[in-house]
Structure 1
Amino acid sequence: MPASSRLFALVLLCLVAAGCTREGPEARLRAAVDALGAAIEARDAGDIEDALATDFIGPDAMDREGARRLAALTFMRYRDVGVTLGPARVEMGEGHATVAFEALLTGGSGAVLPQSARAYRVKTGWTVEDGEWKVQSVDWDSAGP
């Protein structure tokens, strides 16, 4: 095999090996953030609760069950729920992370235009629990006037 062919084979092998490596922690975290957004849009309060750490704490001392109930009540009020997330700002730590972003939440009865739309600044704390990223804390405030 000529040297140029061996070099090409080596480069190809390296590219294949790099493509087969496991996702890094930040990529898995971003996928978990996306999955949580998808659970909200799918109106799945159970999947939302599953995304929360066992020691989850939200505003006003909301726990996992309180978050699930809030989601379920929102889904009963609005047939259609939309979530648009702005760019996430991620700060990684060893087994924990912070993700901050702006979110536009919409809700409606299925008409062309939503009945409700609100923008929020959201800050979430994440932890690794049983090998998966879970939301440990969340806080938000209105991003609009």
Structure 2
Amino acid sequence: MRWWTTLACSIFVAACARQSDADAVRAAIMEISRATEAHQSADVLARVSDDFAGNTGEVDRAQLANLLRMQLLANRSIGVRLGGIDVDMSGERATARFDVTLTDASGRWFAERSTTLHFVTGWRRERGAWRCYNASWEQKP
């Protein structure tokens, strides 16, 4: 019985340990990844600020939402593979850089059934959660 007590205490301590801000940003990016694979556009957009600006203002939050919905409807199977996520903290803001390989079993979304994009994203804490307020991306050769 004693080892159960030790295990329970270990789980409790791990659950109570405060997550670093950088790890919280990484977790938010991983949530977006899982939500994309699960075709849950609302869960993706929950991590995006209302004033989002993508690719130097070319894409706002509404355009991002429409693009996301269009791709999720057009593709039954989307795979998302994240590379390492590098996070630089600056007070209540963060910059995260990472690569994402996206795959589509239907072959309609991506020219060669997969593509790798490099992202640079800006994050800030809003209402207690980290949300992406800007992003730029480009296809890797």
Listed as ranges, the matches of 1:69-108 within 5 Å are 69-108=66-105
Q: Which residue of 2 aligns with 1:48?
A: 44
- AA at the equivalent of 2:116: A
Q: Which residue of 1 aligns with 2:122?
A: 125
Superposed displacement of residue 93, structure 1: 1.2
Sequence identity percentage? 28
Give me the CA root mean square deviation.
2.1
Distance (Å, rounded) in 2 between the aligned partners of 1:128 and 1:142 = 28
- Which residues of structure 1 form unaligned runs of 5+? 1-14
Superposed displacement of residue 29, structure 1: 1.3
Superposed displacement of residue 32, structure 1: 0.7
Superposed displacement of residue 54, structure 1: 1.6
Query: What is the TM-score normalised by the length of structure 1?
Result: 0.79
- Which residues of structure 2 form unaligned runs of 5+? 1-9
Describe the superposition over 1:91-145 as per-residue Cα deviations: whole angstroms up to 9, x where unpaired: 01111101101110111239xxx9621111111111110010001111111111x
Secondary structure (helix, strand or coil) at the match of 1:68 reads helix
Query: What is the TM-score normalised by the length of structure 2?
Result: 0.81
Secondary structure (helix, strand or coil) at the match of 1:23 reads coil
Count of residues in Structure 1 that have an aligned counterpart in Structure 2: 127
